[in-house]
Amino acid sequence: MSEACKWTDPDSGLNAIVYLDAEFSLADIYAQEDSFSIFEPRTIDGYPAVIANRVDSTTSCEVFLATTEEQIIVIDSTAARRDNLDACEWGAEIAGATLKNITE
């Protein structure tokens, strides 16, 4: 794992960690599909991605966004005290915003 960007708001229970992973590819994530309780392939701003979680929960989630065939951006999002916010959907929004910032 490379250096991570971490954002935390303890009052709201929102946390997000974003990092570049050059050790794993999206194919590696697909190879682990059976180990995830939630596994949802999708496209984010034209880039292939997977929303995944090892437990069936809406309070935490990981988004794996392929920037190349050999590298992914990982977003680990938590919405612990926000019943109206799905951590996976929030993580996908963060992935889109991250992608815009690194491609501009």
pLDDT in tens, 54-80: 887 778 999 999 998 888 999 999 987
The DSSP 8-state label assigned to residue 98 in this structure reads H
Residue with tokens 């984010």: 44
Cα separations in angstroms, 101 against 14, 43, 51, 104: 21, 17, 20, 6
pLDDT for res 63: 96
Residue with tokens 């392929």: 66
Helix (H, G, I), strand (E, B) or coil at 57: coil
Closest to 81 measured CA to CA, from 60, 56, 50 = 60
Residue 50 has pLDDT above 80, yes or no: yes
Which tokens is 58 given?
């809406």
